[in-house]
Amino acid sequence: MITLDQAKAHLNLTGLDYDDALIQGKLDAAKAWVGSYTASDPDADTAPAPVHEAVLMLTASLYENREASLVGVTAQSLPFGLLDLLSPYRAFAF
């Protein structure tokens, strides 16, 4: 299970608690998105490490970019590498 403390450590926000509710919301949204994309539970004991890393990456992106933004000359809606981490676990529906 990916915890708030793990997400805060990933964000380098340990020791601070003023954004806990906000981070928890971003973590919940990231888990839901990854779960939907892979048709699995990213909090399951059997979830592979790349799935956990994808949840943390997406949580960080949602926290750091709270609204639509463009950085540099390339626009992307998801963090770089996120889909690469999840592609082996993708659930396709036709």
Which has the closest alpha carbon to 58: 77, 36, 38, 39?
77
Domain residues for the domain of 53 are: 4-64+77-89
Structure confidence at residue 16 (pLDDT): 85
Structure confidence at residue 73 (pLDDT): 64
pTM above 0.75, yes or no: yes
Structure confidence at residue 71 (pLDDT): 63
Indicate the Cα dihedral angle 48, 3, 34, 46, nearest 10°: 30
Does residue 94 belong to any structural domain of this protein? Answer: no
Burial of 80 (0-12, 13-18, 19+ CB in 10 A): exposed
- Number of domains the chain is built from: 1
Does residue 71 belong to any structural domain of this protein? Answer: no
Which has the closest alpha carbon to 12: 23, 26, 1, 21?
23
Does residue 48 belong to any structural domain of this protein? Answer: yes
Structure confidence at residue 33 (pLDDT): 95
Mean pLDDT by 10 residues, the chain (94 residues): 96 92 97 95 95 96 80 67 88 76
Structure confidence at residue 57 (pLDDT): 94
